[in-house]
Amino acid sequence: MSTRLLTLLFVIISYTTVQAQQYEYELGEVTKEELSETSHPTDKDAPAAILFSDAETYMVYFNGDGFNLITEVSMKIKIYNKDGYNWANKTIPYYHHGQNKEKVDISKAYTYNLVNGKVKRTKLRSEGEFTEEPNPYWKLRKIVMPEVKEGSIVEYHYKITSPLIHSFPEWRFQESIPVNHSRYATKIPEYFVYTPNFRGYHTPKVTKESNTKTINFTNKQRNENQVTTFNNSKSNYQEIVTRYEFENLPAMKSEAFVNNIDNYRSSVEHEITVIKYPNQPIKSVAGTWEDVAKSIYDNSNFGTELKKTGYFEEDVDALLSGLSSHKQKMDALYFYVRDRMNWNDYNGYSCQEGVRKAYKSKVGNIADINLMLTSMLRYAGLDANPVLVTTRSNKIALFPNREAFNYVIVAVKINDETVLLDATSKSAAVNVLPFRAINWTGRLIKKDGKSESIALIPTKPSSESNTILATMDAQGKLEGQVKKQYRDYDAYSFRERYGNLTEKSTIERIEENYEGIAIEEYESKNVKNFTKPISEKYSFTHSGSNTDVIGDKIYISPMLFLTHSESPFKQEEREYPVDFIYPREDKYMISITIPEGYTVETVPTGVSIAMEQNIGTFSYNVIANGNKIMVRSVLQINYASIPKEFYPTLKDFFHKMIEKENEKIIIAKKS
């Protein structure tokens, strides 16, 4: 900040209005009744509960440093059982790089237990507090509370001092355990305007007030050949206080097919939009996604690295010799980089090693590898551009900021089709990204620094086809052959599960998936050939564990060991969208030869189910012909993500599908 609050030669500030944080819910007040509580009043299965979380972020002006953000947090947590022990520990991340270093202070950290009818308080020990440094930019302050038992209450208070006024801290009201009370307050001088952005489906109680604050100045002035003089002055300003408050927030329950639950957690983030210091023009600092992309592109660890070509030119020239079409060149360069380079498990849109060094060592972070690929594609004459991405493990940003992105992939335009590439995964292919990179939209950056939004969600269905030829004996045991075929993202999933396993380990994993099965003569093809679907086949015997023999009749599930036993959608209501990651089509063709001397008595009736809005379909048909039973089943999900409003439809659809699959074929012994 080039100009602080006022233009002064020397400023000695007495910030007379900063006061200690006042809590409606105080630390240190633990009762026998609280310690005796064995379960949460409204959530009996909760392993722990936050009795209260109370925090505020305020701003203090420091001479020479300008305004700093101070965040103070008080937390009081009840532990009900051993599954809640991890809630007795706390990790506080803070930025610690260059001149902009944050500072963390922890105080009032105690564990309370009921011992012989009395409340015993144990202070956090020195060995229970330590700091880790996961990377050059961030540190983690960790505490491990002492003497934690079932029934304990832990509490702690900490303060984060930060010079990064543009990076207002996020406050989470909701957690995976119940929160009895959560309050967050902001105290912001009139010189700054921050816009609050909320996540989640719960609405806080909001109150506002304005207080007059005073900064006292002492101006020190010394003229030549004169005694130093001091002039006192003061400046009043308005401090806007906003409080957000929740009572009795329910625990966030884990649900099937959720991309990142933090996208739906009740929380608030603040975006700085205006700075208006006295006697200065109002400065708008609200950024756009175009501004963010341009600033990233102009960074030396991004745009400059994209322009480097000398380190690969000789190799690429040889690789492309004889190739004419853009498609051939794209494929050749993509697989060359993917197979040559090795990802070091670090994300980021900024190069870590630099493309030249990474190319030589064959190791780099996400940016090293994918910016290298982009540069090679451009060198070959293709329309290739980097795409900034937020990974699935990272929350979707609510407003434009550089921290919104933590990953970069490549987009290539060929014949009006945009193809997405990521060379950091050995299981990925052309237009098949690692799951970590499939997250709503990305930001494509062109050579001039201009940018545009680009969809990342797959729209083309991936497929898995299953063909089974089985023979059953009179005891319900089965033997036969299985053939499978996987395409696109289903092939990616197969490679992720089995691509690096030995044949023996693959067989063992499949046998673990299907109870009662024993596999022989296993074979897979095209696992390393990314231009064709993966095929898999094996012979099997099955114990008939899902077949019932009662008297002269055999009851068998038409889908055999592939029968789905239960629906993944069990909750009555759904809080979040259903994220299948990609559209899919699952096909099953099953032929069962029944034992000699038996006849088919009944088979399930066929069914065809379609969800509204073309969300998906299910068709199912079982036909008996002599001693053969033919089963055909097809499930189609046509969208990668389905809004929660359609959850009742989806739940009913899967319920009917599972119910139909579990209807039995009845085979009777001939009289």
The domain ranges of the chain are: 11-284, 290-455, 462-669
Over residues 335-362, mean pLDDT? 97
Percent of the chain at pLDDT above 90?
Answer: 84
Please provide the DSSP assignment of 434-470 as one string.
Answer: -GGG-SSEEEEE-TTS-EEEEE-S--SPEEEEEEEEE
- In 3D space, the residue among 476, 481, 467 whose CA is nearest the CA of residue 595 turns out to be 476
Residue 53 belongs to what H/E stretch? Answer: strand 48-62
Cα–Cα–Cα angle for 395, 396, 399, rounded to 5 degrees? 120
Please name which of 244, 81, 78, 243 lies closest in space to residue 150, comparing C-alpha atoms: 81
Could you please state the CATH topology (level 3) that the domain comprising 290-455 is classified under: C8orf32 fold (3.10.620)
* pLDDT confidence tier of residue 21, bands split at 50, 70 and 90: very low
In the chain, the percentage of residues whose pLDDT exceeds 70 is 94
Average pLDDT, stretch 148-154?
97
Q: Write the single-letter amino acid at 348.
A: G
Count CB atoms within 10 A of the CB of residue 310: 7
Alpha helix locations (H) across 380-518?
A: 489-498, 503-513
- The pLDDT assigned to 18 comes to 36
Phi, psi of 42 (to 5 degrees): -110, -5
pLDDT above 70: residue 189: yes
What secondary structure does DSSP assign to 609-664, as a single string? EE-GGG-EEEEEEEEEETTEEEEEEEEEE--SEE-GGGHHHHHHHHHHHHHHHTPP
Average pLDDT value for residue range 422-451 = 96
| Residues 387-414: b if buried by 16+ CB within 10 A, e if exposed | bbbbbbebbebbbbbbebbbbbbbbbee
Q: What is the mean pLDDT of residues 74-100?
A: 95
Q: How many residues does the chain have?
A: 671
Condensed to tens digits (0 to 9), the pLDDT of residues 54-67 reads 999 999 988 767 88
Q: Tens digits of per-residue pLDDT, 372-396? A: 999 999 999 999 999 999 999 999 9
Q: Three-state DSSP class for 211?
A: strand
What pLDDT does residue 242 have? 98
Q: What is the pTM of this model?
A: 0.88
Residue 223, pLDDT score: 62
CA dist 250 to 73, 85, 183, Å?
21, 19, 15
What is the mean predicted confidence (pLDDT) over 302-314?
97
Does position 1 have pLDDT exceeding 70, yes or no? no
The rounded distance, in Å, linking the Cα atoms of 144 and 124 is 8
Q: What pLDDT score does 65 carry? A: 76
- Both tokens of 183, joined, read 């309050």
Give the residue, 10 or 150, on which the prediction is more confident: 150
Q: What is the pLDDT of residue 7?
A: 34
Report how far residue 344's alpha carbon sits from residue 366's, in angstroms, rounded to the nearest whole number. Answer: 8
What is the reported pLDDT for 5? 35
pLDDT for residue 10: 30
Residue 534 pLDDT exceeds 50: yes
b/e for 48-67, b at 16 or more Cβ within 10 A? bbbbbbbbbbbbbbeeeebb
For position 616, what pLDDT does the model report?
A: 98
Q: What is each CA distance from 390 to 348, 409, 434, in whole angstroms? A: 10, 10, 13
Please check the confidence at residue 494 and state whether its pLDDT lies above 70: yes
pLDDT of amino acid 227 = 58
Tell me if 534 sits within 8 A of 491, measured CB to CB.
Answer: yes
More confident residue, 286 or 145: 145
Listed range (225-234, 246-255, 297-306, 487-496) with the worst mean pLDDT: 225-234
- φ, ψ of residue 135 to 5 degrees: the values are -155, 175
Across-strand partners of 73? 55, 158
Residue 155 pLDDT greater than 50, yes or no: yes
- Lowest-confidence pick of 88-102, 425-439, 461-475: 88-102
Q: Which secondary structure element, helix H or strand E, spans residue 313, and what is its range? A: helix 313-320
Burial 445-475 (b: 16+ CB within 10 A, else e): beeeeebeebebebeebbbbbbebebebeee
Secondary structure, 3-state, 115-180: ECCEEEEEECCHHHEEEECCCCCEEEEEEECCCCCCCCEEEEEEEEEECCCCCCCCEECCCCCCEE
Label residue 251 exposed, middle or buried (CB < 10 Å: 0-12, 13-18, 19+): buried
At 221 the pLDDT is 63
Confidence at 254, pLDDT banded by 50, 70, 90: confident
Question: Which parts of 321-409 fold into alpha helices (H)?
Answer: 326-340, 355-361, 366-379
Task: Give the mean model confidence (pLDDT) for residues 635-654.
Answer: 97
In this structure, which amino acid lies at residue 660?
K
Q: How confident is the model at residue 163 (pLDDT cuts 50, 70, 90)?
A: very high
Is 658 a residue whose pLDDT tops 70?
Answer: yes
pLDDT attached to residue 22: 40
Pair 286, 274: CB distance under 8 Å: yes
CATH architecture of 11-284: Sandwich (2.60)
- 39-53, 91-105, 230-244: which is most confident: 39-53
* Domain 462-669 indexed as CATH 1.10.10.10: no
Task: Round the CA-based radius of gyration of the chain to a whole number and report it.
Answer: 31
- What is the rounded average pLDDT for all residues in the chain? 92
- Of residues 587 and 138, more confidently modeled: 587
Whole-angstrom Cα distance, residue 443 to residue 455?
A: 9
State residue 4's pLDDT score.
Answer: 37
**Residue 133: pLDDT over 60:** yes
